[in-house]
Copies of this chain bind each other. A is one copy, B any other.
Amino acid sequence: MLILMHAHATRAEIDGVMKHVRGHGYEPVELPGADRIAIGVLGSHPASIRDNVVGLPGVVDAIPVSKPYKMVGLEWHPSRTVVRVGAAAFGGPEFVVAAGPCAIEDEAQVLTTARSVLASGALLLRGGAYKPRTSPYSFRGLGVAGLEMLARARAETGLPVVTEVLTPADVAAVAEWADMLQVGTRNAQNFSLLEAVGEAGKPVLLKRGMSNTIEEWLLSAEYVLSQGNPDVVLCERGIRSFETATRNTLDLSAVPLVRSLSHLPIVVDPSHATGHRHLVAPMALAALACGADGLLIEVHPNPDEALSDGPQSLTLQQFGSLMADLRRVAPVVGRQMAAVSVG
């Protein structure tokens, strides 16, 4: 930490800060400059000491110099994590696509979608049984009945299932049916839920909070890892900005940036990020090109009748076409995708 003193700080004020720091058991070093004196605090110290210092007389600011996260950081864990869910491996050479409807509506919808995305090359089936909805009057999911439909689709297709869990009390039930637990953007700093999924022993798909900095997002992942669960896949899904022409602002630069800071895999959800069907395929290709480990794509057999998020869902045919495009680009950017026999 570096403590900046006011240009006209008195000797007594400087000594007061030095004494304060020593009183907390840390070693201060005076750094005289042309304009002012700064005080370096050596060694490892908790963030709270900064809070205590900035209000002292003569102090202009105190600048922390360590990253607040540990276990998720590439600096301390230089080998990349690979998260396995069924046959899929996030974070390895393969580009992993999870696809399915926003909300589970009925068995025919799930089965039709599952068969089709499997044929197109998806490695996971996604679908919501518990839906967080901004309005209490929107369709909020089928609950356990929806989980059962997902499980039947898995039984028939072999696709592992990723689905959202909304509250700690539901974690056990969802973990029983699902292969991967999704924490949504509105719960990205629901720390009770993060700890609960950390304890559940299943891989976690952690969406970025729509107003979370990358540092906050990594700290949310640190909550899961600190419970002994190393299997976290990060998912960039767009952030809030002043632009309203897209549903969110897809922060795709987060992909290479997170890969330079953390060893965890990172995937992209272009469906929620853009909110418009015609933008999904271009941004999916962009995600592949900039180094993402995979995608989460909303697909619906009949988007214009969907109970949730129809405008951003691809048709089954559009999804097949996108997968063909991805398969063509993947090897050119150093990624693997298995060929699919569309017959």
A4 CB to nearest chain B CB (Å): 5
Contact of A241 among B251, B252, B286, B311 (CB under 8 A): B251
Give the size category of A's interface with B: 35 or more
Chain A, 217-246, contact with B by CB distance < 8 Å: what is the 0/1 string? 001001100100000000000011111111
Contact yes or no, A256 B283, CB < 8 A: yes
A215 CB to nearest chain B CB (Å): 7
Contact yes or no, A40 B43, CB < 8 A: no
User: Which of A82-90, A119-127, A152-160, A162-170 contacts its partner?
Assistant: A162-170
User: Which of A110-118, A131-139, A174-182 contacts its partner?
Assistant: A131-139
Q: A2-B65, A136-B226, A289-B286 are in contact. Are A213 and B191 (CB under 8 A)?
A: no
A278 CB to nearest chain B CB (Å): 6
Contact residues of A between 297 and 320, Cβ < 8 Å to B:
303-311
Contact of A55 among B189, B282, B285, B303 (CB under 8 A): B303
3 pairs of A and B residues whose beta carbons are closest in the complex: A211-B211, A34-B44, A167-B192
Residues of A within 8 A of B (CB): 2, 4, 6-8, 20, 29, 31-36, 38, 40, 42-44, 46-48, 51-56, 63, 65-66, 68-70, 75-76, 132-139, 166-169, 186-187, 189-193, 209-211, 213-216, 219, 222-223, 226, 239-246, 249-257, 260, 273-274, 276-279, 282-283, 285-291, 303-311, 325, 328-329, 332-333
- Not counting A53-B304, A55-B277, A135-B222, a sample of 10 additional A-B residue pairs whose C-beta atoms are within 8 angstroms of each other reads A20-B304, A31-B40, A68-B137, A136-B223, A168-B168, A190-B190, A215-B245, A241-B241, A252-B283, A252-B286
Q: List 8 A-B contacts (CB under 8 A).
A: A31-B42, A34-B42, A46-B137, A47-B138, A48-B139, A168-B168, A246-B253, A250-B252
